[in-house]
Amino acid sequence: MEEGSVVVEGRVEPDHSPLVAVTFQRDAHRKEKYLEAEPKALGISQITMSVLNILCVGVFLSKGLGLLSTDLIIFISSLLVVIAGSLAVAAQSLHLPTLRACLGMQIIACGASICNLVCTLVKMEDIYCWQHGDFNATLYEDLCHRAENVQSHFYAGGLLMQLALLAMSVTLAVYCCKVVNCCGPAPKMPVITVHTPAVQQ
């Protein structure tokens, strides 16, 4: 008898039935592996951090303190991360097309976070104190350096936030990839069946 074959009859001769049969079957609960990533917590964190990014960019632009070119990139990239976070939460239903969409958006969110990281570094380098002849030079320099210090700390916090968003996106993408099996066929689990011989009466 071949390995993995199913016997339908109630009684089988002992010479034809192996005592131990090993078969390989697909794991029916493999989708639940995605829930180990805590997608709700990571998705909500992605959404809140990205909304904070958008609000900060909006405030700086409204006060004339931002650069339109970099702020526009940060705004669009943060919106993409918000969408990725929303899909991460929605994918808790373990619906396969939603998990595939989540995987695609998390990969895009990785790129968006890297883009935001670069833009934040560019904005950090743009901090400087310029000379103005009409004011008291000592007072002006002191105020300017304090403002420069606050701004550099703010952007350093922004860098940490972008790194955290990147780590979240990578984590969710890896767990989605395990469930969707985009890199190879679904793994099969070995199932060992022990047949007990029928008792003769």
Alpha helices, H only, the chain: 39-62, 68-90, 96-125, 137-180
* Structural domain boundaries, residue 51: 30-182
The answer to the question of residue 13 being in a domain is no
What does the DSSP 8-state code read for residue 200?
A: P
Residue 92: which of 36, 24, 28, 158 has the closest Cα?
Answer: 36
The answer to the question of residue 22 being in a domain is no
The answer to the question of residue 201 being in a domain is no
The tokens for 133 are 């002849």
Residue that wins the pLDDT comparison between 67 and 54: 54
Q: What are phi and psi of 23, to 5 degrees?
A: -125, 160
Kind of pairing, strands 188-194 and 20-26? Answer: antiparallel
Residue range 57-66: average pLDDT? Answer: 82
pLDDT over 60 at 24, yes or no: no
Contact 95, 179 (CB under 8 A): no
Average pLDDT, whole number, for the chain? 78
Rounded distance, CA 172 to CA 36, Å? 10
In angstroms and rounded to an integer, the radius of gyration of the C-alpha atoms of the chain is: 29
Rounded distance, CA 100 to CA 180, Å? 6
Rounded distance, CA 29 to CA 187, Å? 12
Quick check: helix, strand or coil at residue 8?
A: coil
The answer to the question of residue 158 being in a domain is yes
The answer to the question of residue 99 being in a domain is yes
The model's pTM is 0.69
Q: What are phi and psi of 187, to 5 degrees?
A: -70, 150
- Could you tell me the pLDDT band of residue 169, with boundaries at 50, 70 and 90? very high
The tokens for 47 are 């959404």
Residue range 130-152: average pLDDT? Answer: 69
The answer to the question of residue 196 being in a domain is no
The answer to the question of residue 127 being in a domain is yes
pLDDT over 80 at 46, yes or no: yes
The answer to the question of residue 4 being in a domain is no
> Tokens 């909304």, residue?
51
Q: What's the number of domains the chain is made of?
A: 1
Rounded distance, CA 52 to CA 201, Å? 77
Residue range 21-46: average pLDDT? Answer: 75
